[in-house]
Structure formats: C-alpha cells, structure tokens
Amino acid sequence: MIETRAAPVAGRSTGADPSDPGFAVYVHWPFCLAKCPYCDFNSHVRAAPIDEDRFVAAMRAEITHRAAATPGRVVHSIFFGGGTPSLMRPQTVQRI
C-alpha cells in the first residue's frame, strides 16, 4: 500500500507556492517475524519466504498509478513502514 500526502518540511517550500509543505510517500511493508502484542497495523507473520519480486512488481505498479494521479509533484521524502521494513533485502528497497 502506498499513501501519498503532503508532509511538512521544516524551513523550506517545494515550489513556487511557499505554503506548499512538500510531498511524501509512505511505502507499507506488511511482513514481520513476529506480531507484536501492541501492534494494530496491517502486518502479517509469514511461515513461507516473502516473494519480494512479486511485492516489488505490485508496488511499482501502484507507484505508477499514484504518480499519474499527482502530476507535477516532486517527492521530498519516502518513508518505509509496516510491519518490519528492515526485513527487505537492500535490492528490494533499491528497486522500489
């Protein structure tokens, strides 16, 4: 899941409009090694290995879709959350 939203960027604007707070992208990695008892995020423990190629393909398709809905916006921050995004291989992060 990708959520696109304006995110405040301290001390700078992102374009001609000084009130523009910037543009951030949140990439949700829903997988964990264990489900923490306090966590109510959309996250899942997998017994089988995660098909990271399939995840990347789906994520890139959604990024393309969302980019078409937000033309001209410049991304200033990308946040990875979840789940446990540190479980991703570095190559997966790079491809996203």
For residue range 61-90, what is the model confidence (pLDDT) as tens digits? 999 999 999 988 889 899 999 999 999 999
Rounded to a whole number, what is the distance in angstroms from the first to the last CA of the chain? 12
CA distances to 15, 18, 21, 74 from 12, rounded to whole Å, are 9, 8, 8, 14
Question: Which residue ranges make up each domain of the chain?
Answer: 2-11+19-95
**pTM for the structure as a whole:** 0.71
pLDDT at res. 9: 46
Q: What is the pLDDT of residues 10-60, one digit of tens each?
A: 444 445 677 777 889 999 999 999 999 999 999 999 889 999 999 999 999
